[in-house]
Amino acid sequence: MVSTKISLSGIDMDNPIIPASGTFGYGYEYAELYNINILGSFSFKGTTKDPRFGNPTPRIAECMGGMINSVGLQNPGIDKVIKEELPKLKECFYKPVIANISGFSKEEYVHCCKLIDKEEQVGIIEVNISCPNVKKGGMSFGTTPESAAEITRAVKEVTRKPVYMKLSPNVANIAEIAIACEDAGADGISLINTLLGMRIDLKSKAPVIANKMGGFSGSAIFPVALRMVYQVYEAVDIPIIGMGGVSSAEDVIEMIMAGATGVQIGAANLVDPYICKKIIEDLPRVMKKYNIDKLENIIGGAHR
């Protein structure tokens, strides 16, 4: 019998399947469709210090092999998430959850991470450093090793739980930034966030999305995500959660062989809300097909 079990920073999981932040809400909507406790964990909606309505509409555009979004971190804010969303989540999900935290300044990241670190059900804090740094003209925190390390050090000073830094792929050297995060104390790395893309409406001759550009996700970005996970695995000694275009059990196996321990499913949830359930059910079949007894034995297997 095959084993799909993995362990992330001391947290044992039945399988590596983790719905990605922004595609699974706070879990309870999906719990109406199936028992979400079959998941390894899930990363809840990106949370900021203050409530955010998000970007102007239209903010979604379809494209070949994926979609572009510019939702803009719409969320009720950290206080309401802790007071209202987490209690509702606890009623339908009994495992440690991943808290995705975003911010527009170092102080915001510190504030949110300090608060969420106290929540019993949170197992891992995933820090999204793809947000624009408003104090430095809007450049993403994750685009330079120095700024990535600065945020990592700041949140590690106020947290006890494992901190995974979620990296942007819109950089020249992803491994260099991962190394900076590890050196600053990160417990793990999550990658990749969305690529930057756009669509133009031929009739109006204007960008489809109100913000002109947005995050490109979906199956088309899988080879890019796989390559970056592979590169980061060779550069750091901390666990990796891989994501980006994953939509099948075969994709999950590839991600793990590239170096991921956990695997997040993002845009595919918006196409098929049962996709994570289907992948979990299909994993044993694919493992048997390729003579894999234990997933933990093939982490980074493509490097050997």
Q: Give the list of residues 6+ apart from residue 164 with CB closer than 8 angstroms, or none.
A: 9, 98, 124, 125, 126, 127, 186, 187, 188, 189, 190, 239, 241
Pairing of strands 60-63, 66-69: antiparallel
Is 131 one of the annotated active-site residues of the chain?
Answer: yes
Rounded-to-integer distance, Cα 304 and Cα 126, Å: 29
Closest alpha carbon to 26 in 122, 127, 159:
122
The phi-psi region of residue 11 (left if phi > 0; otherwise alpha if psi is between -120 and 50; otherwise beta) is beta
Instruction: Provide the CB-side half-sphere exposure for 46 (13 A, CA).
Output: 23
Residues 52 and 74 sit within 8 Å (Cβ to Cβ): yes
Rounded-to-integer distance, Cα 213 and Cα 170, Å: 13
Catalytic choice (63, 112, 113, 131): 131
Query: What DSSP element (H or E) covers 156?
Result: helix 145-156
Asked whether the bond before 58 is cis by omega within 30 degrees of 0, the reply is yes
Tokens for 228, please give them. Answer: 């970056």
In this structure, which amino acid lies at residue 268? A
- Catalytic positions, written as ranges: 131
